[in-house]
Structure 1
Amino acid sequence: MNNQPIYGAIPPTQTGAYVPADPNSLAPQNGTRDGKRFKLVVEQQPVRARMCGFGDKDRRPITPPPCIRLIVEDMSTGKETPFEEVDSTFFVLTVDLWSSDARQEVNLVRASSGAPTVSISTSTLTSYPPHIERGWQDPGPYSLMNQRGGYSTAPPGYAMNPAPHMPHQMPAYHQAYPGASPITAPQMPQYPGQYGAPPPGHPSYQVAPQAMPVMPPTAPATSSATGMFTRNLIGSLSVNAFRLNDTTGKMGFWFVLQDLSVRTEGVFRLKMNFVDVGKHMGNGNNLNTGKAPVLASCFSDAFQVYSAKKFPGVIESTPLSKCFAGQGIKIPIRKDGPKPANAAEYEADDQ
């Protein structure tokens, strides 16, 4: 029985093996606005992680935590703009999972029928395969929408508009490569004995009698590759900028990705996209609830995700991680080594 997951609609070449990337594909993209140029630099690269599987609560963070520095340059002088002259209130970084050759996004994974049962989570799981009647949509700029009092960003190719026949709070996710289809929840199946049609303007859900429970629809079994789609990269997929001092004491804008886990083993890269969701109008920097362009993007180095049996262990805490942890960033820091229970007594005797 095949227990291997199937990646999206286009499986990556030799899943689990490193595939070199074209240097042109890895080139960072730098954007400009209001006389300033924005750059992303991955100062601390991811190295390895243990796969976290398909459970909702199991987290195995990538180590060391990727740390990305945002550089804002004055286009007229070519020099870095002092951080105190830049308003970072609405600076946001989003992250996606890509194949090691940087050719395709692998944010979604589909577990085969022989894989362990995937527990349903509204925040991480899409339990329906994509509709075949909908075509691929151009990702375009990020679409930003106010949901439940918070603000969320959707990476390129992930539309945040409400899906038809679904409550407006649920976004429809779109795969970000041509030929893919949006992943939305289809209508409930029709059964005899259902009640009358709903009033105009209301979702067309039907109520089935108790003798015939409503079951979630399933995709036609066109091949052995059937299963449920879920996110492969989980955790904090968008983070705000922090003003932090690096190991040399230099202040700057930093994005720390200390809460990222990957469900399946393989070799991957992270793609980071930076957006500023402020309006920059009037006296204040108000939130932009429409669309915001991607001002900068970059790829990380390739990193390995291991199975539980092959995982060699987490990376030792780096000086940069310790530096940021000392400034209040929640980064797990490994101690130099275990101490015996009576170590404090011996240390007191030495004084």
Structure 2
Amino acid sequence: QHPIRARMCGFGEKDRRPIDPPPVVKLRVLDENGRLMNSEDVDTCKFVVSATLWAPNMENDRSIVINPNTLPGPMPMYPSSSSSVMSLSEPVKVRNLVGTTVSGAYLLKDEHDQHNIFFIFHDLSVRTEGRFRLKFQFTIIPSQEEPRAFIESIAFPGMTDSTELSKAFAKQGIKITIRKNGRGRTFQQDDDGDQEDDDV
């Protein structure tokens, strides 16, 4: 599904309008003989598509733009003193394509009641005025771990202490069980934003 138009959202976040209609990427998978596979037989858990913003000729990436509010103002014609020095900060670069620029795979029925694999970009907006094209990149995320031991319950020695990385994530609001000396606890936030820990 191709987008048709979008209203520029500028550099604020209060009046952001999404690209309309929302871009949708359809994936067709062929087997080793070049025949179209049934979408329901495809393992899509490692499939990801990312979106970037480009010029119409697809030669220049337009995903990043300078925030005009951070550009230095005009210098005074007559400085207040001969020894005065004006310090200029670097302009801030921000994303021109804002919103959710990455989509996982969805196995859904289309308007013809046929199952297909889709990547849906319903939350994309563009900050600046102009003519652009969206570029979508398909990626298969590799995943390989060292062998792990899975032990029957009667011989299981108990859970290990939580890692420092897990603790850091829990303190930032991720729902993850934190264990110390084999005893688990999860971090929660109260109404004031302070962190509490409860035994589980």
- Distance change in 2, residues 1:281/1:86 (3 Å): farther
Which residue number corresponds to residue 237 of structure 1? Answer: 101
Partner Cα distance (1:71, 1:113) in 2: 44
* Per-residue deviation, 1:264: 0.5
Partner Cα distance (1:280, 1:69) in 2: 27
Partner Cα distance (2:13, 2:21) in 1: 22
Does 1:81 pair with 2:37? yes
For 1:60, give the aligned amino acid: R
Partner Cα distance (2:115, 2:10) in 1: 38
- For residue 89 of structure 2, the aligned residue among 190, 214, 218 is 218
- Distance change in 2, residues 1:256/1:107 (3 Å): same
Say which SS state the counterpart of residue 30 (structure 2) adopts.
strand
Larger Rg: 2
* Per-residue deviation, 1:278: 4.0
Say which SS state the counterpart of residue 84 (structure 1) adopts.
helix
- For residue 53 of structure 1, the aligned residue among 10, 25, 28 is 10
For 1:62, give the aligned amino acid: I
Give the structure, 1 or 2, with the largest relative contact order (CA under 8 Å, sep 6 or more).
1
Q: Residue by residue, what CA displacement relative to the aligned partner does 1:172-227 show, whole Å, maximum 9, x if unpaired?
A: xxxxxxxxxxxxxxxxxxxxxxxxxxxxxxxxxxxxxxxxxxxx9723xxxxxxx3
Which residue number corresponds to residue 331 of structure 1? Answer: none
Gaps spanning 5+ residues in structure 2: where? 72-86, 147-200
CA RMSD of aligned residues (A): 2.5
State the TM-score, normalizing by the size of structure 1.
0.35
1:147-162 equivalences in 2 (<5 Å): none
Say which SS state the counterpart of residue 51 (structure 2) adopts.
strand
1:111-260 equivalences in 2 (<5 Å): 111-112=67-68, 218-219=89-90, 227-260=91-124
User: How many pairs were matched up?
Assistant: 132
State the TM-score, normalizing by the size of structure 2.
0.60
Gaps spanning 5+ residues in structure 1: where? 1-43, 116-215, 220-226, 283-351
Say which SS state the counterpart of residue 50 (structure 1) adopts.
coil
Partner Cα distance (2:145, 2:113) in 1: 33
Partner Cα distance (1:245, 1:68) in 2: 14
Does 1:100 pair with 2:23? no
* Per-residue deviation, 1:113: 5.4
For 1:218, give the aligned amino acid: S
